[in-house]
C-alpha cells in the first residue's frame, strides 16, 4: 500500500499508538543515517523505545526477518526494502512494515500488499511512478480451481454442456495467455529503469515540521542527507535545486541568522544559511590546486591526465588570473578578500548554479553540508573490516561532530576530510587517468567496457560513493577525448582483493546523452544485470546490494558475462 | 550533598512556560497539580517538568526576570560593591545552569548570560574562600555569621570546612596526648 500524504496520521501515530516494538532497519548510506537521526529524535520526544539494525544487503534483511518470525514488530525500513517483494523475503506475519525508501520503482507486490506493507511516497512523484493497475498485473488464481471442483460434482451433465464447458475453458486459457503476455510487457516497462526519488530525510523533515518539532539540528541533518544524494550522483542538479527551492525554503528562512533574536552577535547556536557554492569538492579544507586537479570539471577541461595536462592547468590559471601561490597554499589560509575573489572567478568559470547549506556555530568555521555529506558517506562505507554497526556509529558521530563546537570532534571531522575524503578523490582521479592513458576502456558492441587492472583498496571498491563517482567521471572524461562517444553506456569492473579475492565488482553508467536529457537519472543497467543473471548457463553473480546496478561477479565468469551483457543490450536496443 | 543534588532540589521551583500543546487533564502529583495546559497561554510549572517538556518541543520556557543581561549586570555590581554576599534569587546558579543547558534557544543573548552568571559565581566564590580562611585562622571565637549563602555554595564549602574541623581535632588530639 502506498501512503501518499498525511504521514503523521498514517505512519507516525500508528507507530506511536501500536503496542508493538519499533525496529528500524537502516541501510548504510548517509541519507538513511540522516533520516534515522530525525526519526529517532521524534521517537525520543515521545518516549517510544526503538532498536536500530544497520543492514547492507538483502540477505541481512532476510536474516532479520527469519530471526524474528514469532515477534510482533513495527518495522521501519529506511532506504531499503521497496524494490523487492517483502512478502517473499518472509516478513514475519504478525508484523507491519513501513518503508521509507528513495529507490524507485517500487516492487509491485509491495504496492498491492494492503495490510502489512506501507510505502511512503510523495504525492508529486506519483505520475512519474506509473504504477500499473491491479487487474493488469495481479489476478486471483482461485477461479480455475473452482471450475475443476464443479467438474467433479456434475458428471451427469450432457455432452453439449460438457463441450460448452471445454470451449469456455479454452477461451479462458486463451484469455489468460493474452493477459499473461500483456502483464509481461507492462511489468517490463514498469521495471525497465531504476532511479532515485527525493531523499527520505526531506520527507521526514516535513513530517517533523507538521508536528512542530523542527530544530536547527534536524534541519542540518536533512541538508547533509540531501547533499549526499547529490554527491553520490543519485539525483541530478535540477532535481536537487528543485527540492531546495520547493521543499526546503520554509526551513531555510527559519534558521537564517538574521531571523534569530540575537542580532549581529555571535552565539553558539547552530545557524544554517543557504548560499552559492563552488561545485568543487572539499576545496575549503584543501588547497585549490589539488581540489581542481581531481574535480570533474577542471580535469576534463584541461585533460590533466595527458602529458600536456600540467601546462594546460597553468594556462587556465593564468587566464583566470589566479596565481600559483594562491592555489598551492591551504585555502583557509588565504585572506578573506582574496578568498572571495578567487571563488568569484572560479564560479564564473564553472558557470554553475549549485547552492548548498552552510552551518555556522559560534566561532567555529563555516561548514558546507556538501563536504560533511562526503565525510559521513565515506565514514559509513569505508573500513569494511569494521562491523556494520560500528561504521554506522562512526558515521553518526561524524555527523554530530559537525554541529558541536568540541575541539576533539572538530579534529575528528578534519581528519576525515584530510585523510579519507581527499584520498578517495585522488584515487578516483588516478583510476580515470590510468584508464584513459592506457586505453583500458574498450568499445564492446553496444557498450564500453572498462576493466580495472590496477589494484585499488578493497574498501573503496566496495563503496557506492566511489563507484558512482568514478564511473560517472570516467564516462565524461572518455567522451571528452573523442567525438561521438556519448551514446553508449559504460560498464566498469573492479577486482576485489583480500578476503573476497576472485570476485569483481561490476557497475555501470548510462550514456551521457541520456544523462543530459533526463532529470531523474534513470538507469537500466540494473535491469540488464538482472537479465544476465537469469540467462543459462547461470553465472556466479551476487546481487545482494540495494542498488541493483552494483553486483559482484566471479572473475572466472567474466568473459561469459561480457558476452551475455552484449546480447542483452543488443536485445534491448532492437 | 553535591551540585547535582542541589540541582535536583532546585528543579522543584516554579518557572513560567508557554506550552505549545493543549491538555485539559492536569497531572496530579503529591506536591500539587501540574497543568492543565492550553497552547499559547503561559503557566507556571516546576523547572523539571519544564525541561522535560522543552526536550519534547512541547513548550517554550520564559526565562526568569533576573536572567536578563541588565539585571545580571546589576547583580554583579552589587556583588562587587557589598562587603558580604549580596542577596540572590533562590537557586540562582542551579536554575541558570539548567536553562542554559536545556533551553538555550529561549534565552535572550545566552552567551552574555552565561559569562555574567559565571562572573557572579566567581566573585562570590572568592568571597566565600577568603571568609572561610579568615574564620579558620582565628582561634578565639568559634562561630561566624555569613548571610545569603546559596545552597550550592554551602554544599561546596561544606567539604573544606568539615575537613578543617577534623584536622583541628587531630591536632588537638596530638597536643593532648603528647606528654610535656
CATH number of the domain that A54 lies in? 3.90.1640.30
Interchain CB distance below 8 Å, B108 and A45 = no
Same domain, A468 and A515: yes
Q: Which residues pair with B18 in a beta bridge?
A: B60
| pLDDT tens-digit series, residues A8-41 | 888 888 888 877 889 999 999 999 999 999 999 9
Reduce the secondary structure of A468-508 to three states and give it as a string. Answer: HHHHHHHHHHHHHHCCCCCCCCEEEEEECCHHHCCEEEEEE
A268 pLDDT band, cuts 50/70/90, is low
pLDDT in the model for residue A574: 43
DSSP states along B110-143 = HHHHHHHHHHHHHHHHHHHHHHHHHHHH--S---
Task: Tell whether B56 lies on the interface with A, counting CB pairs under 8 A.
Answer: yes
Same domain, A91 and A187: no
pLDDT in the model for residue A258: 61
Domain-embedded: residue A339: no
Nearest residue of A to residue B115, measured between CA atoms: A267
- Decide if pLDDT at B20 tops 70: yes
Residues of A in contact with B112 (CB under 8 A): 265
Task: Tell whether B101 lies on the interface with A, counting CB pairs under 8 A.
Answer: no
Q: Which residue has the higher pLDDT, B41 or A407?
A: B41
| pLDDT tens-digit series, residues A109-159 | 888 887 888 888 888 888 888 888 877 777 765 454 444 445 555 556 778
| pLDDT tens-digit series, residues A481-509 | 888 888 888 999 998 887 778 888 999 88
Task: Tell whether B143 lies on the interface with A, counting CB pairs under 8 A.
Answer: no
A265 pLDDT band, cuts 50/70/90, is low
Written as nine digits, the cell of B28 is: 496530579
Task: Tell whether B111 lies on the interface with A, counting CB pairs under 8 A.
Answer: yes
Q: What is the average per-residue pLDDT within B54-83?
A: 88
Domain-embedded: residue A326: no
pLDDT in the model for residue A53: 92
| pLDDT tens-digit series, residues A36-60 | 999 999 998 888 899 999 998 899 9
Half-sphere exposure of A198 (CA within 13 A, CB side): 27
Interchain CB distance below 8 Å, A215 and B20 = no
Distances in whole angstroms, Cα of residue A375 to Cα of each of A270, A371, A459, B153: 19, 6, 15, 45
d(CA A300, CA A326): 22
Q: Which residues pair with A449 in a beta bridge?
A: A442, A491
Same domain, A73 and A172: no
CB A491 within 8 A of CB A529: no
Domain-embedded: residue A361: no
| pLDDT tens-digit series, residues A168-190 | 999 999 988 988 888 888 888 88
Same domain, A465 and A561: yes
Nearest residue of A to residue B55, measured between CA atoms: A45
d(CA A30, CA A36): 10
Half-sphere exposure of A255 (CA within 13 A, CB side): 24
Under 8 Å CB pairs connecting chains A and B tally to: 28
Q: Tell me whether strands B14-19 and B59-61 are parallel, antiparallel or unpaired.
A: antiparallel
Same domain, A443 and A504: yes
d(CA B61, CA B69): 17
pLDDT in the model for residue A51: 93
Same domain, A167 and A110: no
Range of lowest pLDDT (A154-163, B34-43, B60-69): A154-163
Domain-embedded: residue A257: no
The CATH number linked to A524 is 3.10.310
Task: Tell whether B104 lies on the interface with A, counting CB pairs under 8 A.
Answer: yes
- Quick count: other Cβ atoms within 10 Å of Cβ B177? 7
Residue at grid coordinates 531523499: A199
Domains of chain B with CATH codes: 3-177 (3.40.5.50)
Last residue of a domain, one of A122, A144, A170: A122
Domain-embedded: residue A142: yes
Distances in whole angstroms, Cα of residue B170 to Cα of each of A11, A145, B134, B139, B143: 69, 100, 20, 16, 20
Same domain, A86 and A178: no
Domain-embedded: residue A423: no
Same domain, A60 and A175: no
pLDDT in the model for residue A145: 45
Q: What is the mean pLDDT of chain A?
A: 85
Residues of B in contact with A269 (CB under 8 A): 104-105, 110
Distances in whole angstroms, Cα of residue B7 to Cα of each of A1, A71, B54, B116, B117: 50, 42, 17, 19, 16
Residue to mutate among B20, B53, B58, B105, with most A CBs inside 10 A, is B105
Same domain, A554 and A481: yes
Same domain, A29 and A91: yes
Last residue of a domain, one of A191, A216, A232: A191
Residue to mutate among A38, A218, A260, A262, with most B CBs inside 10 A, is A262
pLDDT in the model for residue A282: 86
d(CA A382, CA A376): 10
Domain-embedded: residue A228: no
| pLDDT tens-digit series, residues A335-369 | 888 888 888 888 888 888 888 998 888 777 788 99
d(CA A328, CA A423): 17
Q: What are phi and psi of A284, to 5 degrees?
A: -75, -5
CB A437 within 8 A of CB A478: no
Interchain CB distance below 8 Å, B55 and A46 = no
Last residue of a domain, one of A122, A144, A175: A122
Residues of B in contact with A46 (CB under 8 A): 56
Interchain CB distance below 8 Å, A265 and B57 = no
- Structural domain of residue A493, as residue ranges? 439-573
Residues of A in contact with B109 (CB under 8 A): 261-262, 265, 267
Cis previous bond, A327, omega within 30 = no
Residues of A in contact with B40 (CB under 8 A): none
Same domain, A467 and A563: yes
Number of domains in chain A: 3
Same domain, A521 and A464: yes
Domain-embedded: residue A465: yes
Nearest residue of B to residue A260, measured between CA atoms: B105
The whole-angstrom distance between A308's CA and the closest CA on chain B is: 55
Nearest residue of A to residue B114, measured between CA atoms: A267
| pLDDT tens-digit series, residues B77-128 | 988 888 888 888 888 899 999 998 888 888 887 888 888 999 999 998 888 8
Q: Which residues pair with A541 in a beta bridge?
A: A553
Amino acid at each position: 500500500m502506498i501512503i501518499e500524504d498525511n504521514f503523521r496520521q498514517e505512519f507516525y501515530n500508528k507507530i506511536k499508538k501500536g503496542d508493538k516494538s519499533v525496529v528500524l532497519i537502516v541501510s548504510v548510506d548517509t541519507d538513511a543515517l540522516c533520516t534515522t537521526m530525525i526519526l529517532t529524535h521524534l521517537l525520543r520526544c515521545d518516549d517510544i523505545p526503538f532498536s536500530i539494525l544497520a543492514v547492507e544487503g538483502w540477505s541481512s534483511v532476510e536474516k532479520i526477518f527469519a530471526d524474528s518470525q514469532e515477534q510482533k514488530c513495527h518495522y521501519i525500513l529506511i532506504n531499503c526494502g521497496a524494490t523487492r517483494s517483502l512478502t517473499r523475503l518472509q516478513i514475519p506475519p504478525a508484523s507491519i512494515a513501513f518503508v521509507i525508501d528513495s529507490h524507485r520503482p517500487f516492487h509491485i507486490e509491495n504496492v498491492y500488499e494492503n495490510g502489512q506493507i506501507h510505502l511512503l511516497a510523495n504525492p508529486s512523484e506519483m505520475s512519474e511512478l506509473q504504477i500499473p493497475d491491479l487487474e493488469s498485473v495481479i489476478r486471483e488464481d482461485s477461479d480455475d480451481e473452482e471450475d475443476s471442483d464443479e467438474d467433479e460434482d456434475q458428471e451427469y451433465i450432457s455432452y453439449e454442456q460438457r463441450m460448452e464447458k471445454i470451449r469456455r475453458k479454452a477461451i479462458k486459457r486463451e484469455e489468460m495467455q493474452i493477459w499473461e503476455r500483456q502483464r509481461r510487457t507492462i511489468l517490463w516497462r514498469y521495471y525497465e529503469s531504476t532511479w532515485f526519488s527525493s531523499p527520505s530525510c526531506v520527507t521526514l523533515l516535513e513530517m517533523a515540521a507538521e508536528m512542530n518539532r523542527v530544530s536547527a539540528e534536524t534541519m542540518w541533518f536533512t541538508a547533509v542527507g540531501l547533499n549526499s544524494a547529490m554527491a553520490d550522483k543519485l539525483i541530478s542538479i535540477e532535481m536537487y535545486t528543485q527540492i531546495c527551492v520547493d521543499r526546503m525554503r520554509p526551513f531555510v528562512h527559519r534558521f537564517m541568522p538574521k531571523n534569530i533574536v540575537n542580532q549581529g552577535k555571535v552565539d553558539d547556536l547552530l545557524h544554517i544559511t543557504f548560499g552559492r557554492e563552488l561545485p568543487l569538492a572539499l576545496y575549503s579544507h584543501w588547497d585549490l590546486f589539488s581540489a581542481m586537479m581531481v574535480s570533474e570539471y577542471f580535469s576534463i577541461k584541461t585533460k590533466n591526465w595527458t602529458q600536456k595536462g600540467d601546462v594546460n592547468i597553468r594556462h587556465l590559471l593564468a587566464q583566470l588570473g589566479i596565481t600559483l601561490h594562491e592555489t598551492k597554499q591551504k585555502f583557509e589560509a588565504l585572506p578573506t578578500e582574496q578568498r572571495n575573489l578567487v571563488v568569484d572567478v572560479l564560479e564564473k568559470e564553472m558557470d554553475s548554479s549549485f547552492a548548498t547549506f552552510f552551518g555556522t556555530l559560534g566561532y567555529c568555521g563555516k561548514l558546507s553540508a556538501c563536504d560533511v555529506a562526503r565525510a559521513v558517506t565515506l565514514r559509513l562505507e569505508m573500513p569494511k573490516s569494521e562491523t556494520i554497526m560500528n561504521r554506522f556509529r562512526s558515521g553518526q558521530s561524524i555527523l554530530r561532530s559537525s554541529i558541536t563546537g568540541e575541539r576533539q570532534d572538530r579534529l575528528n571531522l578534519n581528519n576525515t576530510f584530510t585523510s579519507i575524503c581527499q584520498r578517495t578523490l585522488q584515487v578516483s582521479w588516478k583510476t580515470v587517468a590510468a584508464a584513459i592513458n592506457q586505453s583500458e576502456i574498450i568499445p564492446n558492441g553496444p557498450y564500453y567496457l572498462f576493466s580495472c587492472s590496477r589494484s585499488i583498496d578493497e574498501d573503496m571498491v566496495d563503496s557506492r560513493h566511489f563507484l558512482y563517482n568514478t564511473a560517472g567521471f570516467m564516462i565524461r572524461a572518455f567522451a571528452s577525448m573523442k567525438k561521438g562517444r556519448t551514446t553508449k553506456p559504460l560498464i566498469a569492473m573492479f577486482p576485489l582483493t583480500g578476503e573476497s579475492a576472485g570476485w569483481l565488482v561490476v557497475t555501470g553508467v548510462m550514456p551521457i546523452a541520456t544523462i543530459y536529457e533526463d532529470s531523474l537519472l534513470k538507469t537500466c543497467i540494473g535491469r540488464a544485470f538482472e537479465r544476465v543473471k537469469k540467462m543459462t548457463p547461470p553465472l556466479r553473480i551476487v546481487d545482494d546490494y540495494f542498488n541493483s546496478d552494483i553486483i559482484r561477479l566471479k572473475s572466472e565468469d567474466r568473459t561469459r558475462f561480457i558476452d551475455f551483457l552484449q546480447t542483452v543490450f543488443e536485445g534491448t536496443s532492437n | 550533598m553535591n551540585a547535582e543534588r542541589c540541582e535536583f532540589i532546585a528543579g522543584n521551583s516554579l518557572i513560567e512556560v508557554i506550552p505549545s500543546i493543549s491538555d485539559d487533564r492536569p497531572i496530579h502529583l503529591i506536591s500539587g497539580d501540574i497543568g492543565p495546559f492550553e497552547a499559547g497561554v503561559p503557566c507556571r510549572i516546576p523547572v523539571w517538568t519544564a525541561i522535560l517538556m522543552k526536550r519534547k518541543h512541547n513548550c517554550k520556557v520564559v526565562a526568569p526576570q533576573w536572567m536578563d543581561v541588565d539585571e545580571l549586570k546589576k547583580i554583579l555590581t552589587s556583588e562587587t560593591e557589598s562587603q558580604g554576599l549580596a542577596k540572590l534569587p533562590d537557586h540562582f546558579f542551579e536554575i541558570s545552569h539548567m536553562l542554559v543547558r536545556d533551553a538555550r534557544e529561549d534565552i535572550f543573548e545566552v552567551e552574555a548570560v552565561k559569562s555574567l552568571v559565571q562572573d557572579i559565581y566567581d566573585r562570590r566564590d572568592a568571597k566565600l574562600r577568603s571568609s572561610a580562611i579568615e574564620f579558620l585562622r582565628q582561634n578565639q571565637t568559634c562561630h561566624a555569621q555569613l548571610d545569603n549563602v546559596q545552597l550550592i555554595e554551602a554544599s561546596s564549602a561544606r567539604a573544606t570546612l568539615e575537613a578543617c574541623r577534623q584536622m583541628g581535632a587531630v591536632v588537638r588530639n596530638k597536643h593532648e596526648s603528647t606528654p610535656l
